[in-house]
Structure formats: structure tokens, C-alpha cells
Amino acid sequence: MSDKPKVKVATVWLGGCAGCHMSFLDLDERLIDLFKLIELTSSPISDLKEIPVVDVGIVEGAVCNEENEHVLRTLRKQCKVLVSLGDCAMTGNVPALRNQKTLDETLVRGYIETESTHAGEVPNENVPVLCKKVRPIQEFVKVDASIPGCPPDADAIWYALTELLAGRKPVWNPTNVRYD
């Protein structure tokens, strides 16, 4: 066993479909090999109130509300290397489809025109304050590396993580980017 300390990694999910984190889980048995090298300090399935100091922060999704922006800015302060995971983080992609409508139109469509548990009203409480427009993460913070794709496949995530753990920045070409 190596005396080298494990690299601390935190993953965060903002607005999006969570497909990128599902691809992360598709690493299957390679996760075991990865966990020999890293300590996963937080992920979308953990309920941490504070983001710990980490070596690598991985962000999936776009900034859709004020809470997303706060989490993103906090992670950026707490990590040495920030990685965007998937096209939602890089371009806004799927969550940014709501940018085609005004914020009021979006809320009416989501809560009044669609069957919901809110009896035809936009709720006042427990709803995050939405941004006027969904925006990619690099519009808020410096991104050090990106893993493109929608969602990126497990091999692309593996490649990027192993390059980052070796101190190299991943280089992408069309053959190692997937769009489903």
C-alpha cells in the first residue's frame, strides 16, 4: 500500500438530468480501483451542509437558481481543480431549454398548466429562487478541466480522472466524446 495520501474529490449536481453522475456509476468495478486513489468526500447522494476542502471538485449541471450559484462558488473556493462534467455544465444544454420562455411563463407551465401537487398555484415556500436564465458554470467561476458529452460515457470519465490524478489535463477529440 502506498504512503501517498488519497486525492480528495467532491462531486456536485446542480440543475440537470443527473445522467452524468449515472455515467460515473457506470465505472462499475473501476470505481473500486479509483477509490484506492481517491477519497470521495461528497456527492449528490450525501447530504452535506458544508463542502469540505478538496483537491478535485466535479460539477454536473447548469446554474438554474441562487442555491446552485452559492454551491458552485463555495465548491470553487474549496477545491484546487474544478472540473465540469457534461454539456449541461459546459453550455447549459438541457436545463437551458427553459431560457426560451420568460421566468413567469416557465413557472406557469410547470405549476399551473401541468398536473402537479400544488393545486394550480405557483408555490411560495420551499421553491428555490430561479435565475432569469440558466447559465453554464464557467460564467460564474473558473473551470480548470471539462469532460464533454451528454452524458459522457464511463470511459471518458475514467480517462479524465486518471489524467487529472496523474497531474495532466485531459485532451479531447471527437472519438472520445459521446452524445446519446
Residue 1 has pLDDT above 60, yes or no: no
What are the tens digits of pLDDT across the range 78-116? 999 999 999 989 999 888 888 888 878 877 887 788 776
Distance between CA 49 and CA 70 in Å, rounded? 12
pLDDT (average), residues 141-156: 91
Q: Position 60: which residue type?
A: E
Of residues 51 and 44, more confidence is placed in: 51
The CATH homologous superfamily to which domain 7-98+131-173 belongs is NADH:ubiquinone oxidoreductase-like, 20kDa subunit (3.40.50.700)
- Cell 468495478: give the residue: 29
Grid coordinates given for 7? 486525492
Grid coordinates given for 169? 489535463
Check residue 25 and give its pLDDT: 79
Residue 63 has pLDDT above 90, yes or no: yes
Distances (CA, A) of 91 to 60, 114, 137, 139: 11, 27, 8, 10
| In contact, 137 and 62? CB cutoff 8 Å | yes
- Mean pLDDT over all residues of the chain? 85
Check residue 85 and give its pLDDT: 93
Distance between CA 126 and CA 166 in Å, rounded? 42
Distance between CA 90 and CA 143 in Å, rounded? 9
Instruction: Report DSSP letters for 110-129, one per residue.
Output: HHTSS--TTTTS--SSS---
Grid coordinates given for 109? 407551465
Check residue 2 and give its pLDDT: 60
| In contact, 164 and 145? CB cutoff 8 Å | yes
Instruction: Report DSSP letters for 18-58, one per residue.
Output: SHHHHHHHTTTTHHHHHHTTEEEEE-TTS--SSPPPEEEEE
pLDDT band at 7 (very low <50, low <70, confident <90, very high): very high
